[in-house]
Amino acid sequence: MRGRCVQYVLAALVCLGGLWLRGDLCRAADDGLAAADGPVSSAGQVDAGVLDQITRRMQEFVDRKQISGAVTLVACRGRVIHLEAVGAADLENGRPMRPETMFCIASMTKPVTATAVMILQDEGKLSINDPVSKYIPEFSGVALRDGKPRQAITLRHCLTHTAGLSGSQQNEGSLRETVEKLARRPLDFEPGTKWQYSPGLSVCGRVVEIVSGKPFDQFLAERIFQPLGMPDTTFHPSPAQQQRLARLYQPGEGGKSLAPATHWLVDVSPDKSPNPSGGLFATVGDMARFYQMILNGGELDGRRIVSAAAVREMTKIQTDDLKTGFTDGNAWGLGWGLVRQPQGVTAVLSPGSFGHGGAFGTQGWVDPQRQMIFVLMIQRTGFGNGDASDIRRTLQQLGVQAVGG
């Protein structure tokens, strides 16, 4: 009941003028919320009626058995202008979606891993142009299927999915064991010549461990999550946090219902090794704080996480004219997808917008020209390409429309 009251208070505050994305104010928990005044868009207006349509449209997706529920967030110029939860986190037990519901964010983990790499580059402890073999000797013997590659795999290749690596992104044992097995697989192509979605970010995560001397999950907690105030972002949800996890669903028989689904990514075993390619669980508010830090050029609340130069490098096109991504008009940065030419599901986003999706339909995108953040939290599988979903399109379109385009 208390959680539901928080939702009502939050909705009222958003209507009054939004919440600042600082301190605890973006977090829809029982910590307390506060309103803030001041313009959001360049026109100084937000159309509350359009924002209300987001909630109605999400409920339509629930009613059509497309999702069990959703948590959606839109922020503009540092202020949360929409945050709402609809539907159920657990249909079988009647547990409703709430802003504090936690989700497996899968590949939305990758930009966090890239940020960890850039923190170490800022400190002069590595360079993204370094060959991976400098840190993981097993990569000195990496080979194509028909001979040796002309150039060594670099961290940059791994960050941009151009290393030629292939195979599952699932950990096989520890992170160290996983990456050493990757080094023994033949490459699919000459590094730097193609884009192919890969477990390259897992290699980067292992390098973070080696260079920092800390387990990957500990490094992220100490250098990103704790400084940013992201207490619900973790590879290992506690028993209490597990009570807030949204269940994963797939199409039921005949497509007229939803059925519970299982997947290795949603495994919460305490001995499961941290997966830099897709292992994090998080809330919508935590992820909004991470995106706001990046949008701010690497700092939030006076805490610098990574340099502005590193943010520019991560969020600029690194793949030249290679065809990349899962929707048309994309390019790739360092761990981030980029919108090169807005079209289709990205039509309302500005060129240069950046973000990443997850295997279960979660999406997080930043439009730096409009100073906007869009976060979609759902948990479904078997519904096709999540990056091109109507749910993502709806959130972005209505969010942009609400601030006057």
Q: What is the pLDDT of residues 311-365, one digit of tens each?
A: 999 999 999 999 999 999 999 999 999 999 999 999 999 999 999 999 999 999 9
For residue 26, the model assigns a pLDDT of: 42
159 and 258 housed in the same domain? no
26 and 159 housed in the same domain? no
pLDDT at 33 over 70: no
232 and 371 housed in the same domain? yes
Separation CA 30–CA 7 (nearest Å)? 10
pLDDT at 14 over 50: no
271 and 391 housed in the same domain? yes
363 and 242 housed in the same domain? yes
- Is residue 222 in some structural domain? no
For residue 15, the model assigns a pLDDT of: 37
384 and 263 housed in the same domain? yes
1-10, 101-110, 314-323: the lowest-pLDDT one:
1-10
123 and 94 housed in the same domain? no
**SS3 state of residue 314:** helix
Separation CA 14–CA 109 (nearest Å)? 28
Structure tokens at 228: 């940013």
Instruction: For residues 84-97, give the mean pLDDT.
Output: 98
- Residue written as token pair 């060594």: 152
Positive or negative, the Cα torsion across 125, 215, 231, 244?
positive
Half-sphere exposure of 354 (CA within 13 A, CB side): 23
For residue 44, the model assigns a pLDDT of: 58
Nearest to 102 by CA among 268, 259, 221: 268
pLDDT at 204 over 60: yes
Q: Which residue has the higher pLDDT, 40 or 114?
A: 114
Residue at which a domain ends, from 217, 250, 268: 217
Residue at which a domain ends, from 217, 246, 281: 217
Q: Please report the beta strands in 228-292, taking only residues with DSSP state E, as ranges in sequence order.
A: 249-251, 258-260, 281-282
Reported as a pLDDT band with limits 50, 70 and 90, residue 254 is confident
315 and 235 housed in the same domain? yes
Hey, which residues does 104 pair with through a beta bridge?
Answer: 281
- Is residue 107 in some structural domain? no
The tally of domains found in the chain comes to 2
- Is residue 384 in some structural domain? yes
Separation CA 305–CA 337 (nearest Å)? 21
Reported as a pLDDT band with limits 50, 70 and 90, residue 11 is very low
For residue 7, the model assigns a pLDDT of: 46
Instruction: For residues 38-51, give the mean pLDDT.
Output: 71
- Is residue 108 in some structural domain? no
pLDDT at 85 over 90: yes
Look up the domain containing 357 and give its range: 2-102+228-402
